[in-house]
Structure 1
Amino acid sequence: MDDGSVLHLKLTLDSLRGEATFDFEGTSPEVYGNWNAPEAVTTAAVIYCLRCLVDVDIPLNQGCLAPVKIIIPKGSFLSPSDKAAVVGGNVLTSQRVTDVVLMAFQACACSQGCMNNLTFGDDTFGYYETIGGGCGAGPSWGGTSGVQCHMTNTRMTDPEIFEQRYPVLLHRFSIRENSGGSGVHRGGDGLVREIEFRRPVVVSILSERRVHAPRGLKGGENGARGANYLVRTDGRRVYLGGKNTVTVNAGFDSCEE
């Protein structure tokens, strides 16, 4: 994770018995931030990965895990205390667990590893969206550009509706060219989304992959790291990091890449 926390997985497969063990022992302790993930998040990510890997349309039910053992160390950020903040576990950490599992199977390269959560509002309204990115390439296919990867299917508000209902101007919403890792099969490219606010609002970004890039696989190069900027009216670009809350005035741009 961008704060240095480690997701550690030992994968053991028993082909004779048709069983698998996912052992997350060695994963870092509960974190001070909000990307701790309840155990259900890790379990759901494992089910998702297994259904992707098996070339059969398996109904989604608890029976999927009958031959699977999942070991999650108590006190880790995948099994935090009941006092831990967990809002980012479902939207950030779930994506990273998925990357780790699929990499352990050597199934595909890492995807954007994050759902890029953007919120803004004031005392009268609030708005929340997740911004897509690039999916990792596989042994026989290139990654998809500008989509929500893996277990999320959030749709983006149409630009016309976005500008009509909220005090914003959408200057740019485009593919971030050449941000996917190169290789025999290229990783998907990310997105650039640039928003101008027409009245003072509080803006928050909750994202990952701003420090550690999405990893390539089998010689493929890493994808580009994301970046979040506040662009002021005088042209200054202020880097916000992966997780931040800022108050902006009318005419300021918030640019998420």
Structure 2
Amino acid sequence: MSEIDDIRMQVMWNRLISVVEEQAMTLLRTAFSTSVREAGDLSAGVFDPMGRMLAQAVTGTPGHVNTMAEAVGNFMAEIPRAEMYEGDTYVTNDPWKGTGHLHDITMVSPSFLDGELVGFFACTAHVVDVGGRGFGADGKSVYEEGIQIPIMKFAERGTVNRDLVRILRQNVREPNQVVGDFYSLAACNDVGHRRLVEMMREVGLASLDPLADFIFTRTSSAMAERIRALPKGSWSNTMVTDGYDEAIPLAACVTIRDESVHVDFTGSAPVSRWGINVPISYTKAYASYALKCVVAPDIPNNWASLGFFTVSSPVNILNAERPAPVSLRHVLGHLVPDLVLGAVADALPGQVLAEGAASLWNIHLSLRPVAGGAGRRAEVLMFNSGGMGARPGLDGLSATAFPSGVHTMPIEATEQTGPVVIWRKELRPDSGGDGTYRGGLGQIIEIAAAEGHEFDFSAMFDRITYPARGRAGGGQGAPGGVRLDDGTKMRGKGWQHVPAGRRLILTLPGGGGYGPPEGRSDAARHDDAIKGYVTESEH
């Protein structure tokens, strides 16, 4: 390939990234659920005819993107090429063939050019409700957690499956939001397809094969170079998490070989009877993300780069098989990067951040009028973030969703979705772990139902009993907490009730510190106090 050809392919690669970015923005702009529209809990990507991910949108979460990278192959195995037509869109929320739990809807659409299959577009989004027990850890099997949609056609030759839509409406609490999001997902793929065809016609490409070869060859070469430069050997780490009603140990062993990195999760807790289990695809998604953050953060995320990371595990809480309950698979899944990075830190001292809050502090509110009162019912989902761990050379980021990467949800948007009032949402002083570099702060959030209403809430919290650990001598972050405004202590997981007139108070955990506290400069400590990050009694 000549230098001119290389430049031409690079331009087309950039165009392809623009295509998937527009694909994702379509979903953001048209979605009904605040978790998609405001928080960006989604993914979008383009794949070659073999189901290999060529490019992903920057908008989105690693848990969605990296599981979706494998999900397309599952769709291709279920729907034969002879049954794929122009205008088709396929759908599933199967946790083991999609992205890990029933609330995530994955759609895949074949893309045709002049009658020939040239690729696929895929996207994923978290919908507000899928029926069953609701979004929470209380189910004893996946059958209790909501409606299950096997891999099937949402639309064939442009005609929507009306029977599927009717079944959805009958099984979910917010039918307009959920069905609206299904159409948004389909539109997202359709926009990607139209932009891809326009690009291919413009540059005279009959197939994506030359571009795929260009992308994968260069990505693979760059990844191999980075991995060869790493120290070789095996390193292990363990972590204890809150669990549902008892502590849950997690374990990982990272082995760096000449041209690959393998993670084994032997030693983690057995499959739980509660919905905190994690399908292996989601575990692999976040293990790969953690490794890539350290090894090659600047190399594009695609089929070739992900292929350098492998994962194994016996059947356990991080490799739960059907029909285990998996509704809250994200809670332990979001702790996987801290678990893996803790092992990598021994291999690469001075290069890995401290532990953080990690798990999103999602809360699902089911609001209703008090008995005999007037008002409205609503299902409201909030995404909230604690503090990140301190980094070598930098303080941790406060109230930041790492590793999930979702956006902060404005309280104004949340309050528009139902009779809920957010009385307080502010940074939590003294929650970041002390150290040469301070851990990021958590938040304090105060929630109540509007007058004349009460609510049940699903708690999906961690780092309450076992807070984020510091690194290299840094202190631990502050643990989280859940209580009512009258002092009643609430549980960190499971459905619970808040009576009318009471407020729910969440104190989100902070990130761990990095380096010994005596190494923090007087100027930095003064700045902490001036900004209110640390109170007078704490410095």
TM superposition score normalised by structure 1: 0.90
- 1:115 partnered with 2:360: yes
Q: State the AA in 1 paired with 2:493.
A: K
Residues 230, 64 of structure 1: CA spacing in aligned structure 2 closer, same or farther, 3 A cutoff?
same
**Alignment of 1:148 onto 2:401:** yes
Deviates more, 1:207-216 or 1:236-245: 236-245
State the structure with more CA Rg.
2
Show the counterpart of 1:9.
252
- Deviation (angstroms), 1:164: 4.4
Q: Which residue of 1 aligns with 2:314?
A: 73
- Residue 114 of structure 1: SS of its match in structure 2? coil
Aligned length: 248
Q: How much does 1:79 deviate?
A: 1.1
Does residue 217 of the first structure (1) align with residue 471 of the second (2)?
Answer: yes
Q: Tell me the TM-score normalised to structure 2 length.
A: 0.44
Q: CA deviation at 1:18?
A: 3.0
User: Aligned partners of 2:266 and 2:414: how far apart in 1?
Assistant: 44
Q: Secondary structure at the match of 2:304?
A: helix
Query: Paired residue for 2:273, among 11, 19, 32?
Result: 32
Is the partner of 2:334 in helix, strand or coil?
Answer: helix
Instruction: Say whether 1:191 aligns with 2:432.
Output: no
Distance across 1 between alignment mates of 2:489 and 2:394: 34
> How far off is 1:62 after superposition?
2.7
Partner residue, 2:500? 250
Of the structure 1 ranges 121-130 and 108-117, higher mean CA displacement relative to structure 2 is found in 121-130
Do the aligned partners of residues 256 and 23 (structure 1) sit closer, same or farther apart at CA in structure 2, a change above 3 Å counting?
same
- 1:61 aligns with 302
Q: Tell whether the 8 Å contact from 1:135 to 1:144 is kept in structure 2 after alignment.
A: yes
Give the deviation of 1:165 after TM superposition.
4.2
**Equivalent residue for 2:337, pick from 79, 98, 104:** 98
Letter in 1 for 2:380: Y
Alignment partners' CA distance in 2, 1:52 and 1:22? 15
Higher relative contact order (CA 8 A, sep 6+): 1
Cα pair distance change 1:56/1:201, threshold 3 Å: closer
String of CA shifts for 1:200-257, please: whole Å, max 9, x gaps.
Answer: 22122111111101111110011011001122xxxx2111121132222321101111
Identity %: 29
Which aligned pairs between 1:45-60 and structure 2 lie closer than 5 A? Answer: 45-60=286-301
Distance 2:423 2:268 in 1: 41
Judge conservation of contact 1:47–1:64 (CA < 8 Å) in 2: no
For 2:360, the aligned partner's letter is M
CA contact (8 A) 2:380 2:417 kept: no
- TM-superposed deviation, 1:161: 3.8
The aligned amino acid for 2:397 is T
Letter in 1 for 2:445: R
**SS of 1:77 mapped into structure 2:** coil
Deviations 1:176-220 (A, max 9, x none): 111011101111010110012121221221111111011111100
Query: 1: distance between equivalents of 2:287 and 2:252?
Result: 11
Q: Which runs of 5+ in 1 are unaligned?
A: none
